[in-house]
Amino acid sequence: MFTNKIFKLFFLSALFCASLFSYPQISQDIKDKKIYPIGEKIYKSKCSNIDTAKFKTYDALVSSLESKKSCGDLNKNHLQALSLYLWDVKRHNSKIYPKLTVTNKDKCQVCGMFLHHYPTWVSRINYPNGETYNFDGMKCMFKFYFNNKEGIKDILVQDYYTLKTINARDAYFVVGSDVYGPMGHELVPFKDKKSATTFSLEHKGKKVYSFDEVTEHMVRSLGM
Amino acid sequence: MKLQNIWFVVLACKVNLYILEYSIKYIFRDKYKNIFIVIVMSLLVALLAATLFISNSMKAKYNSIIDNYPDIVITNQKALRDSTIDENEIDKVLTLKGVTSVVARVWGHYYFLNADKKFLILGRDEFETYFNPLLNQKMNINKESMLVSKDVKKILNDNYYKKYFNFIKSDGMIEKVKIQNTLDLDTSVKNPLLIIMNKDLAKNIFQYKNSEVTDLAVSVANKNEIAFIATKIKILFPNARITIKDDLRVHYENIYNLRSGFFLTIFIITFFTFFIIIYDKVSGLNSEQRQEIGILKALGWRVSDVLNAKLYEGSIISLLSYILGISFALIYVYVFNAPYLKDMFLNNYNLLPDFKIAFTMDYETLALLFFLSVPIYIAATIIPSWRVATLEADEVMR
């Protein structure tokens, strides 16, 4: 009887300890849009360099932050934000493309339109020798791509929702929506399939394509 | 052939100093009349320029205020009155695609009875990013202290609150807050009676419960999506008031356009006055002036010489009055802050209390006023003289 109780207590305390610093279940949207930015700000303003590779588990990272106070006194939410940022973002150090900016003089390589009027649609093709070509939309970019496929280093487009620069080869494109680009009908780029389908449903899109599924015929059929 | 053409142009452009001297003397002969014309014309230019300068710098100010405004603001309503919103509702909004970030804002007014003044209190969390760049600055405030603007500091000083201030909360208790520092505000700030403090402290002063905040400020990366996301938020919060940045722009422009009807009246009146002067000049020369042109022609002046003399006369008077008028306006508006005229722009809603006119060089207005005054006046002096000068000398003097 008594051993049973001790066992129960032991079991419960183990459960409690495990849940104390365990990796929280929060949706990715909330983490991306709320928690990581706060964590980044805390890290940049308060922390000295923290080597994230040193920690094997998320719990170890949190308890070390809490006990060593390497980032000063933080309340519960801030501590969670900081540790989630360190664990998910800082540790992976995924490749971030710089924002696609254009000057007043830049023109589209294919149609010759000025780019600064439509900054959200700008896309870019880079070559290994440093040559870069800017385009005023996906349509012009694809037309150029189908004619000059060889030797391209990377193709950059902007995610419609976040305007973050993404690699076009990983992007999804929505065709036939009620959102128009600078040259009329457009392929609207998205970083993942989920946002592409959401957009497609909300904006009367006809179909979602991945980069490889886009054909020259399809691009031509969108008009000019 | 080409070279000759160029020489011809150069010769034609060359100012004939003798004729210039003649026209200056002509101006001084009719001293009082010409001085009167210069005064009236420069006053007209000054009045128009001043109104346009004020309205343009007000427009710039409105735009700078709106630029610091969030893309979408969600304000909860109870019985159609603004109420607080739960902080945790942020997560609902964040799941919408296209939303970049949502900030729970804590802000409000505090009425200071002794001075009969209303302070604007902005709550701020060190690690959040706000639309208002003022709140994103690095500030050295803790949970018991606040930053005040210079105007607030002066009011508190006058009421013997030198180091701290006692906020009276709605339950009658007092919250003592240390005055940490003063804020330097630039002209783009709408309300100069500003206090910035920690979010939790502000919540305490407003007596908000745990997760209550004033409103939610939503930022949207792609500006084309703002209206669509606003409708989606409206579905999430059917009871709330959703304010979009562009609506606010329209709202400000409406208030402002009400005023611009007034400017239009001033504009029309001044221009009619100007055109009456012009009409008077164009309608003909008096016999004395006709006789003078006749004598000049009899002395051997060509038609072009007479026209040159009139061109110089018109240019001197109109350019002088233009420059005088514009400098009057610049000094009146930007040095003296446009007393009296400014009050007509500020309405009783008190949208911009203690409005200081920021300097913006408005080249469009300068060009508009130049082309509406100088060439017209010159033409009005040349045309009647040209009519007389083309006649024979004896016919004129008869």
| Minimal C-alpha gap between B199 and chain A (Å) | 14
Nearest to A78 among B94, B127, B228 (CB): B127
Identify the band that residue B256 occupies on the pLDDT scale cut at 50, 70 and 90. low
What's the rounded mean pLDDT across residues B4-25?
72
**Inter-chain residue contact B127 with A81, CB threshold 8 Å:** yes
pLDDT at site A21: 64
| Minimal C-alpha gap between A220 and chain B (Å) | 25
> Is B99 an 8 Å CB contact of chain A?
yes
pLDDT at site B302: 87
What's the rounded mean pLDDT across residues B211-225?
91
Say how far apart CA B204 and CA B198 lie, in whole Å: 10
- With a cut of 0.85, is the ipTM above it? no
Q: What is the pLDDT of residues B43-79, one digit of tens each?
A: 989 988 888 888 888 788 788 888 888 999 999 999 9
Binning chain A into helix, strand and coil, the percentages to the nearest 5 are 45, 15, 40
What CATH number was assigned to the domain covering residues B107-207?
2.40.40
pLDDT at site B273: 80
Low-confidence ranges of chain A (pLDDT < 70): 1-3, 6-7, 9-21, 93-94, 224
Residue/partner pairs of B239-242 with CB below 8 Å, 24 or more apart: B239/B76, B239/B77, B239/B78, B240/B74, B240/B75, B240/B76, B240/B77, B240/B85, B241/B74, B241/B75, B241/B76, B241/B77, B241/B82, B242/B72, B242/B73, B242/B74, B242/B75
**Inter-chain residue contact A160 with B128, CB threshold 8 Å:** no
- Is the CB of residue A141 less than 8 Å from the CB of residue A125? yes
**Inter-chain residue contact A161 with B97, CB threshold 8 Å:** yes
Q: What is the pLDDT of residues B321-380, one digit of tens each?
A: 999 999 999 999 988 888 877 777 665 444 555 567 778 788 888 998 899 888 888 888
**Three-state SS at B113:** coil
Q: Which of residues 159-188 of A touch B (CB under 8 A)?
A: 160-164, 179
Instruction: Enumerate the residues of chain B whose CB falls inside 8 A of the CB of residue A76.
Output: none
What's the rounded mean pLDDT across residues B149-156?
89
Give chain B's mean pLDDT.
Answer: 84
Best probe of the A interface among B127, B138, B229, by most A CBs < 10 A, is B127
**Inter-chain residue contact A162 with B221, CB threshold 8 Å:** yes
Question: Which of B146, B109, B107 has the alpha carbon at shortest distance from B130?
Answer: B107
Taking the whole predicted model, whether its pTM rises above 0.90 is answered as no
pLDDT at site B134: 82
Say how far apart CA B183 and CA B188 lie, in whole Å: 14
Give residue limits of the domains in chain B. Answer: 17-65+252-397, 107-207
Runs of H (alpha helix) within B68-132:
90-94
**Three-state SS at B349:** coil
**Inter-chain residue contact A199 with B97, CB threshold 8 Å:** yes
pLDDT at site B216: 94
What's the rounded mean pLDDT across residues B307-331?
92
> Is A30 an 8 Å CB contact of chain B?
yes
Identify the residue with better confidence: B128 or B284. B128
Q: Which residue of B has its CA nearest to A81?
A: B127
pLDDT at site A160: 92
Share of chain B above pLDDT 90, in %: 28
> Is A195 an 8 Å CB contact of chain B?
yes
What's the rounded mean pLDDT across residues B159-183?
89
Say how far apart CA A120 and CA A178 lie, in whole Å: 16
B152: number of CA atoms within 13 Å, CB side?
Answer: 28
> Is A82 an 8 Å CB contact of chain B?
no
